[in-house]
Structure 1
């Protein structure tokens, strides 16, 4: 068994918490993906997922394995990168799994154009895992969601984007000009994993309750398969996709906020932080909200030009 490949499959399913969405992300059919996860469970002698007709959840063994699996996959990819490209400078970057392929591609292309001597190595991972990876030195800089608790880390300029509601195109609310949160009563909600985005979960669900919407069930994952199937709704920016409808929320009660984060400032980190602000504004429709720094304090700037401390 190719253990690294199977761990890569495991990480995709663990981040999506949906076998169909993970299969799409990996570019493969769902049945062989399910078979390979089963083979990995047999090899390790543990059950990694609790599966039901409506939801997939990590078991305790799965949660313990996830961090190690990500690290193993990242290290193997790093070895391949070094073998292909020599010992040049690599900037390891964490990005949210649902940031969008076009935005990630623009970050890579923009950084390559400005700094051809440095190769950007993005890894898709949620905020909580990025904070851990930054603290451990496994990545150099990340794009994290707010609110975020990050003692000892520096936070870049905070950008914001108002979110609407994503619905199946045949949902009756798709005919409305705008939707009040209370109108979503009875509909289940799809959100990124609570363990990966604890601050986002708490903030969004509190705002939903404040406006009269208490989802009967909260699903976790990055793909929109449940929304397209009419089994759940989700919050996010406007997007066009067959079978999907986006409607603004009355009063814009839900806002997505992100910033870069790093532990040690270098010229490469500073360059990425500056580029990320530009790309997120141009490609993701985000706008300035303010500037941050080490969590709870002002941003510190090194005396070396262009280097964030």
Structure 2
């Protein structure tokens, strides 16, 4: 049967499996890089480097990636970015494993993967509504959250086991295998190229500028983005440095770091389950503010002697 003849349910299932395999591989690599550096350096400066290498490239490319997702075939953007990132990751990981174990190479891997995620995520987020009828989209998003939570629960456990028993290089091998399987699932999904204008002579900056102007003209959206941006800036140091906190407080054992990340994931999953069960909230912005306030109180408690 041609993939074009598959029903939307089958194509959606294949797409969700592919995306969550990408999530599984990426999160496993992230934990491995973070923990390996934390255990070898126990340095706040190195944790800062990891945070910048993980987040900054994705931020820099996000606006351009959104425009690309609106103009080009989203499936091909996902496949190309995943394939290139996987190959480059394996190349740098091989140098790290067999030539020189310079920790800066792990930062290079983090930068490569951050660029790839920054390109892939807007395309993936925009692709799901192309596959799923609008009346089923909320339910399908719920299934996707369940799958993602399962992947994020398993990935730190696998990363901890491989890092302690086999070595970090095998985590990159697992990532490559999961990416290959994800691309295989994605190959059966038929995604038409967006019908937006494809004038290649038009500057991508026009699309970026239009998006920024829309945000500026919409006060509630502007306020929301400024609030969440500031909140994440304030939350990020504590969340990123929790790995270093656990390492210095409880000792340099991989299983300590594994359980730290595992409970982060369980907490996020419980929050997502609460949202999914209630579905509608009168004051969504207030709920977000409560969530950030709760995070602040929890981090303050961590700092008590």
Q: Taking structure 1 as the reference length, what is the TM-score of the superposition?
A: 0.30
> So what's the TM-score if we normalise by structure 2?
0.30
Structure number with the bigger relative contact order (C-alpha 8 A, sep ≥ 6) is 2
More strand per residue:
1
